[in-house]
């Protein structure tokens, strides 16, 4: 008995791929806030948050502070001031945000609010005060 073997030729494979470029990732919120902050007090307050970095990295703080606009984002200082007690902050974090808000909103704050800040946050505040005063020659930090 003879065996017949049939060879079946498969049609050429074509791959159809619609190239849809991925949506561009938005710039980090720090960059978008820095771009928004053109007024002196906003610029200084945003710089304080960026330099401190730990608070701005917290999702709860971002939800309260960062407001989406048609043009990008902006810092909603009033909303932050109204929701500050809801953020479950320790005394140093709370005091730092009070100072940031005092700068951003042109409010008064008692000087004793800097007492719980610690060295790193205090340096941020001192650099911000120097910038607010228009002084860029004062060095803030540890001297060797």
What is the model's pLDDT at position 12?
Answer: 66
Residue 24, pLDDT score: 67
Q: Which residues of the chain have pLDDT under 50?
A: none
Give the model's pLDDT for residue 63: 95
Chain Cα centroid distance, residue 7: 64
Cβ(104)–Cβ(42) below 8 Å? yes
pLDDT at residue number 83: 95
**Tokens 């005060």 sit on residue:** 129
Distance, CA of 35 to chain centre = 12
What pLDDT is stored for residue 72 in this prediction?
Answer: 87
């Amino acid at each position: 008995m003879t065996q017949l073997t049939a060879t079946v030729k498969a049609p050429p494979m074509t791959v159809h791929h619609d190239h849809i470029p991925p949506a561009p990732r938005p710039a980090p919120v720090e960059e978008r806030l820095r771009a928004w902050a053109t007024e002196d007090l906003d610029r200084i307050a945003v710089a304080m948050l960026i330099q401190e970095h730990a608070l701005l990295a917290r999702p709860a703080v971002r939800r309260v502070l960062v407001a989406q606009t048609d043009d990008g984002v902006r810092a909603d200082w009033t909303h932050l001031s109204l929701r500050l007690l809801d953020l479950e902050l320790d005394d140093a974090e709370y005091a730092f945000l009070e100072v940031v808000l005092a700068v951003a909103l042109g409010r008064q704050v008692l000087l004793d609010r800097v007492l719980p800040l610690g060295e790193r946050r205090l340096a941020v505040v001192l650099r911000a005060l120097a910038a607010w005063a228009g002084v860029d020659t004062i060095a803030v930090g540890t001297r060797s």
